[in-house]
Amino acid sequence: MSECTHDCSSCSQSCSSRTAPQDMHIETNELSNVKKVIGVVSGKGGVGKTLVTSLLAVEARRRDFKTAILDADITGPSIPKEFGLKQRATGDEQFIYPVVTKTGIEVMSVNLLLEDEKQPVVWRGPVIAGVVKQFWNEVVWNDVDYMFVDMPPGTGDVPLTVYQSIRLDGIVIVTSPQELVSMIVAKAANMAKMMNIPILGIIENMSYVKCPKCGEEIKIFGEGHTEETAKEFGTTLLAKIPFDSELSKLSDNGCIELFEGSWLTEAADKLLK
């Protein structure tokens, strides 16, 4: 048998270069320094993943951490809308520069690059995945303590690329009570487990509505079982966020940095150590 040359194209040996799982993580550029990266995922769209990403970033910034958001939801980019960002991101031959929100959160999103933000992104999976990688290694992320990644929904090609290329320290799963009963959340959680990424916790969104007259918490989707489900996934329930019309107003008007609820205080205590 021939000796292993470590050149897999000309060698037939099954040495560890061929059989060991490849580390496909890519590094940021030399001008960037990102300390912790937290992915925010959901099984499907519309459960409040973008809203929760924004709220976590606002909490982190309020605690004086240097904070950034990488909007990896390329086909449904809504982060700029939450923060009322209208300007375009700039760049030079080598790098792209993020847009900074009113309170100082660095943001990169495909909507900050498009001429017309209402135009759909009609790109195939590999192109979208390439853009996410560029957001990671071609954007200048200035000395970031916490980066939140608004992950693409589902368990397809693009989330897979994000998991493989960006060195995530953990993920937070956002779910609504009715989504939890479907198998979609379990799929998202299992994908993270398969990629060896710690699940930092679950945030239940649209858990209840507070009666404006008596303050009673009305569970419109019935009693959630998030705590039990979190245990099944080997993690914890970090927070329950109500359906709140003030919250949706702030989010629709680009003023999410003004939110006043304390629903995420404990979650932030646990996540931002």
Return the HEC string of the chain: CCCCCCCCCCCCCCCHHHHCCCCCCCCCCCCCCEEEEEEEECCCCCCCHHHHHHHHHHHHHHCCCCEEEEECCCCCCCHHHHCCCCCCCEECCCCEECEECCCCCEEECHHHCCCCCCCCCCCCHHHHHHHHHHHHHCECCCCEEEEEEECCCCCCHHHHHHHHHCCCCEEEEEECHHHHCCCHHHHHHHHHHHCCCCEEEEEEECCCEECCCCCCEECCCCCCCHHHHHHHCCCCEEEEECCCHHHHHHHHCCCHHHCCCCCCHHHHHHHCC
Residues of this chain, 156-215, that bind ligand ADP according to CB under 6 A: 205-206
Cβ atoms of 197 and 37 within 8 Å: the answer is: no
> Quick check: 39 binds ligand ADP (CB under 6 A)?
no
* Shortest Cβ 51–ligand ADP spacing (Å): 4
Residue 48 labeled ligand binder = yes
Closer to ligand ADP by Cβ: residue 97 or 243:
243
> Quick check: 155 binds ligand ADP (CB under 6 A)?
no
Other beta carbons less than 10 A from residue 273's beta carbon: 6
Residue from 138, 145, 169, 244 that binds ligand ADP (CB under 6 A)?
244
> Quick check: 240 binds ligand ADP (CB under 6 A)?
no
Scanning 6-14, 103-111, 123-131, 246-254 for contacts with ligand ADP by CB under 6 A, the matching segment is 246-254
Q: If binding means CB under 6 A, how many residues of this protein chain bind ligand ADP?
A: 17
235-251: string of b/e by CB count within 10 Å (b at 16+)? bebbbbbbbbeebeebb
Cβ atoms of 94 and 31 within 8 Å: the answer is: no
* Shortest Cβ 95–ligand ADP spacing (Å): 28
> Quick check: 47 binds ligand ADP (CB under 6 A)?
yes
Site mask, ligand ADP, residues 50-89, x = CB under 6 A? xx--------------------------x-----------
Scanning 10-18, 39-47, 129-137, 212-220 for contacts with ligand ADP by CB under 6 A, the matching segment is 39-47
Residue 215 labeled ligand binder = no
> Quick check: 243 binds ligand ADP (CB under 6 A)?
yes
* Shortest Cβ 1–ligand ADP spacing (Å): 54
Residue 43 labeled ligand binder = yes
Residue from 56, 191, 251, 271 that binds ligand ADP (CB under 6 A)?
251
Scanning 12-20, 49-57, 196-204, 219-227 for contacts with ligand ADP by CB under 6 A, the matching segment is 49-57
Annotated binding site for ATP: 43-50
By the criterion CB under 6 A, which residues form the site for ligand ADP?
42, 45-51, 78, 205-206, 241, 243-244, 247-248, 251
